[in-house]
């Protein structure tokens, strides 16, 4: 399910919007990855792998469509207050991650939305290829 959402969902979304962007000669694709798509974490193999795929596909796509005036941005947030834990079946992993989240003030969804808006609002000639954000207290 995680690969379906994080990888196939990205592919379907890009396929739906890219032809029009190329035809117009401008557009912006913003893909949401994760800090876990830049480094690995124990017990997060599938999640991390899916987010590494987002990074790789985004960078390759950026190279393919830059000449058509299309920007590709990868947003890579650290820990965010989401329902991510509800998709995990291992109770020990859930407990460890919840303890981590309780130990720091993690990002709010609004923080990620503000980063996306900032990247999008740049002039069309500017591409923020990758924006990594995390809670100040998140060190890894």
Q: Please identify every residue annotated as catalytic.
A: 47
Residue 130: what are its φ and ψ, rounded to 5°?
A: -150, 135
Q: Which candidate, 36, 41, 71, 42, places its Cα nearest to that of 55?
A: 36
- CA 30 from chain centre, in angstroms, equals 8
Q: Which candidate, 131, 119, 133, 132, places its Cα nearest to that of 28?
A: 119
Residue 29: what are its φ and ψ, rounded to 5°?
A: -105, 125
| Residue 98 contacts residue 81 (beta carbons within 8 Å) | no
DSSP symbol at 106? P
DSSP symbol at 108? P
Pairing mode of beta strands 130-133, 70-77: parallel
């Amino acid at each position: 399910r995680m690969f379906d959402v994080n990888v196939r969902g990205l592919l379907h979304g890009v396929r739906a919007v890219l032809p029009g962007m190329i035809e117009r000669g401008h557009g912006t694709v913003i893909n949401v990855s994760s800090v876990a798509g830049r480094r690995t974490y124990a017990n997060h193999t599938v999640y991390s792998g899916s987010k590494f795929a987002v990074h790789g596909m985004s960078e390759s796509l950026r190279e393919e469509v830059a000449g058509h005036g299309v920007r590709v941005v990868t947003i890579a947030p650290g820990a965010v207050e989401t329902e991510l834990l509800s998709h995990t079946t291992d109770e020990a992993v859930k407990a460890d991650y919840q303890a981590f989240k309780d130990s720091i003030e993690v990002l709010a969804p609004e923080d990620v939305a503000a980063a996306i808006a900032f990247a999008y609002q740049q002039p069309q000639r500017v591409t923020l290829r990758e924006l990594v954000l995390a809670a100040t207290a998140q060190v890894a």
